[in-house]
Each structure stands twice: as C-alpha cells, then as structure tokens.
Amino acid sequence: MHAAYQNDDKHDQELPFGRLPEEQCEQIHAASLQILERTGVRLYDQEAIDLIKRGGAEVSDGNRARIPRKLVEWALKSAPTEFNLYDRHHQDPLHLRAGQSYYGPGSDCMTIIDHHTNERRLPTRQDVRDGIKLCDALANIDFVMSMFLPSDVDYRLTDRYQMLVMLTETTKPILYVTNDFKGCVEALAMAELVSGGPEAFRAKPTAAGYINVTNGLNHNQEALEKLLYLAGKGVPLLYIPSAMGGIAGPITPAGSVTLANAGVLVGLLLSQLKREGTPFIMTAMAGNALDMRTMVSAYGQPEPKRLAFAMGHYYDLPMFGIGGCSNSKLVDQQATSEAALTLMSDTLGGATLIHDIGYLESGLCGSLAYLVICEEMVSWIKKMTAPVEIDPETLSVDLIDAVGPDGQFLDSEHTFKHFRKRWYPQLFDYRSYDQWQAVGGYSLGDRASQAVDRIIGEHRPDPLPDTLIDELQARLDVPEDAPRPI
C-alpha cells in the first residue's frame, strides 16, 4: 500500500533527510491535484486523450484534459511500489524502491573532456564504447546510460548505435533514451532479442525507457507515444516532465516541484490506464531553476531536493535522481565538491536511480576521468550507508580487556582477521607525503586519467555471440542513405 494512503503517525517523529512532515507532502499533493482538476493539461496524442476520457477526465478545446482526483488516486494505488531491473543474464537484480540507491552515468553529452589532453571536443563512437566498457568494469556503477552523443554517426542513428553498444559492451541494466518514437520501438526490440524474446524480457526486464516531457502542463506527442508503447508492453519507464523554475515553472521550489509533480501524475495515470501495474519511476530532480544571473541551467541546486525526495517517499514510488555531476567546465575543485554534495544528498534522500555521474557543464559535457573519481565517492558512500555489524566479535570487549591500557592491537589475530573489511581507496591517495612523492606525486586528476586507460585496456566485457550481434544489426531500421552504425 502506498505510504500516502496509510493512516499512521510514523512521520510525527524526527524525520530523516529526504522526508517532510506529512502535512507538507499533502499540501504539494493537493496543489498538484488542483492543477490537474482546475487548469488541466494539454495532451498531444489521440490515444492518450481517448484513454483519459474513458477514465473519467473532461477534455475540452480538443486536447485540454482536466483530471479528477479519484482517477489519480486510483493510479497511485495501481502502480507497483517496487520492482526489479536485471542484468543481461537475468541475474543480480537492482531492487527499485524508494530509499534504495543505485548509481550510473547519464545520456547524450554533446561534448567530452579528453582525459589525455584535457581538451573539450566532440565525442566519437569510440568514446561511447570506451565509456560503456569503463562502466562495465567499475564495481560501483550499477546501471548504464549511453553517456555521449557520437558526432561521427548519422544523427538519425545515434540512439540505435548507443543501444547496440550498451547491449554489447556491458551486462549491467540499461536506461535508454531515444531520439524519436521509432527509435524507442527499435531499441526495445533489440533488448528483447538479447533477452531471448518479449516474454523473457517482460518477466525479467533488463532495460527501462527514459522519457523526457515538455513540461508538467504540456505532454508532447513523442513522449506520450513512448509512454503508451512501453506501458502496453509492461516495460519499466521513467516519465520526467521539465519544470525549470522561472521558465517552465514557478521560480519558487515548492511551485516548481508541484508543477512537475502534476506532470508526473499524468504520466503515472496514463501508464496505468494503458496497462494496470506498469512499473513506473518518478522524478526526484524536479524544482531546479535557471541561474537568473547567467540564464544557464544549474545542476544540483540545494533548495528543491528535499521536496522532490519527499514526494517519492510520500507516494512510495522509485525515484530517478541526479548526482556525481557539476556545473564546472573542468574536472576541478568545483567539480569534485558538487559531485560529493549531490551524491550524498541524493543517497540520503533515498533516490533510487542516481544518474549523470561524470557529467559537467550542466549536462552538456562528460569526462571519463571524472566518472572514475565519482565512482570512488560512490564506493565510500556505499560503505558509509551499509548495515553495521555489531556483535561480541566486533564490539571486542574481551580483546580490549586482554590488551589493556598498556598494549596495542597491531599484531593481534583480531586485527589480521578483520582489517580487510575496512574501506580502502582505489583512487584517493592515503600515503604519506614521502610515499606519495616516491610513486610519482600524481594529482587525483592524473591518477584518474591513468586509471581510465588501464581499465579500458585491460577489461574485457562479457561478449555477445557474433550471430546475435549480426541479428541486432539486421533488426535496425536504417535509412537507405545511412551507413550501418557499426
């Protein structure tokens, strides 16, 4: 049962980060419903209009739908509160629910910081391959997205190429974004083929579709087509309306979050009307605003985060978060500071899929070196938030008594038995100054670049059979005048 509809007093106690008092969540929820009932939303797809009319919404002016509260409440009770996303072998599932965090990169960066030259340039097909291969090797990257928009691939095929690379260069779960509806259909068909067919994929889905939406009040045709197609097949989906404060939504965090939340509820409703029980992931990114001094979109603003997390917990739905990213143009002190802040806040807030790790420049640029730095932070955070083992062995009272005030623990069997369980960095340097100098005195950025080259050079992803790769190629609907993507 969704937390929003439980009559208990669990929130009357001191609230953890990522929660708000129940009455504040109810205010945002009520305001979202008021927007849907009074203002209504534009739906630019006939099937969506027909579905919502049959459900009981009032449609006027061709496509302006005003949605009654009871219809939204039905959808909230219909959607699953948790579900799994699997790897290529249908094993090691990510258990998607509010409060359980997983980490991965983002999609479609238009530029890359070359880790050899530190120059900003256009990404290539090789950058996409290297990025996915790197993510496959990094233990604390839990899912993948396409990372870069390759400039040396026909623009009509970039999404198909990205999906093909993700399916071949990693076994990890995939979140995919496509250029258009046709690409969404083809990408899913490719994932189903690798899974062994549509039924095998539906039973244990290995990919989820990420859908960007114009804003909370305007639901564009392409987004609705993707939503209804994926929902019709029972595929997990993310439906993310824009509500950029000051432009596509109010400048106040509460207003911007409320408008985005209304748009989320529209997507949720349509997904459940199309196929009851469709796995749905809501946004925990709502409420950001333009920096009014520069008119640039700002990553990771602090004000709206807690509100966005709170609504995910209120509805008890998995959340799509954002972390490990920066507005900086370089892999510098600002980049690492903002990465740490956003990763920690989204983890403590309970975001489920935390994406855009390794991204710079408000999401326009990516860096593989930055990605491995952020992955080290994720490793630290996972250790910090892991369950704590407390028992007589770890409390060590008898050992403390045996050593006494005048002894030491370095040569004890207990230390030898347990020291490997502590967290040790792979990239951060814990040497003394002289030890650090003796191994080259490299900066974190230098070590990250070296790690990228080493990992890409050594790692061998679990390959798909050549016959299956050929079949994936054959399934692509490629324009006659365009080259094959690989």
Tell me: the pLDDT tens digits for 13-22? 334 567 888 9
State the DSSP code for 12. Answer: G
pLDDT-derived band at 350, boundaries 50, 70, 90 = very high
Measuring CA to CA, how many Å separate 138 from each of 18, 81, 135, 172? 28, 29, 5, 11
CB atoms within 10 A of CB 232: 13
Nearest Cα to 47, choosing from 221, 209, 275, 233? 221
- Between CA 191 and CA 164 the distance in angstroms is 9
**Closest to 277 (Cα-Cα) out of 51, 79, 85:** 79
Query: What's domain 1-386+436-486's architecture?
Result: Alpha-Beta Barrel (3.20)
DSSP readout, 467-478?
HHHHHHHHHS--
pLDDT, position 288: 82
Flag the least confident range among 301-310, 369-378, 448-457: 301-310
Residue 237 has pLDDT above 70, yes or no: yes
CA distance 464 to 452: 23
Predicted pLDDT at 476: 66
Residues 249-272 have pLDDT tens digits of 899 999 999 999 999 999 999 999
Structure tokens at 423: 């967290």
Q: How far apart are CA 239 and CA 319, in angstroms?
A: 10
Residue 1 has pLDDT above 60, yes or no: no
If 0-12 CB within 10 Å is exposed, 13-18 middle and 19+ buried, where does residue 313 land?
A: buried
Segment 132-150 shows an average pLDDT of 98
Averaged pLDDT for residues 315-329: 96
Global pTM value: 0.93
390-446, pLDDT tens digit by residue? 999 999 999 999 999 999 999 999 999 999 999 999 999 999 999 999 999 999 999
Give me the mean pLDDT over the 206-234 stretch. 97
| CA 156 distance to own-chain centroid | 25
Residue 14 has a pLDDT of 39
Name the residue type at position 272. Q
**Sequence letter at residue 267:** G
Question: Which alpha helices (H) appear in 275-409, and where do they start and end?
Answer: 305-315, 333-349, 368-385, 392-395, 397-403
Task: Please give the angle made by the CA atoms of 244, 68 and 212, to the nearest 5 degrees.
Answer: 30
What does the domain layout of the chain look like in residue ranges? Answer: 1-386+436-486, 392-421
What mean pLDDT is predicted for residues 84-98?
A: 96
- pLDDT tens figures, 3-47: 443 434 333 333 456 788 899 999 999 999 999 999 999 999 999
pLDDT reading at 389 higher than 80: yes
Nearest CA to 137 out of 437, 454, 394 is that of 454
pLDDT confidence of residue 303: 85
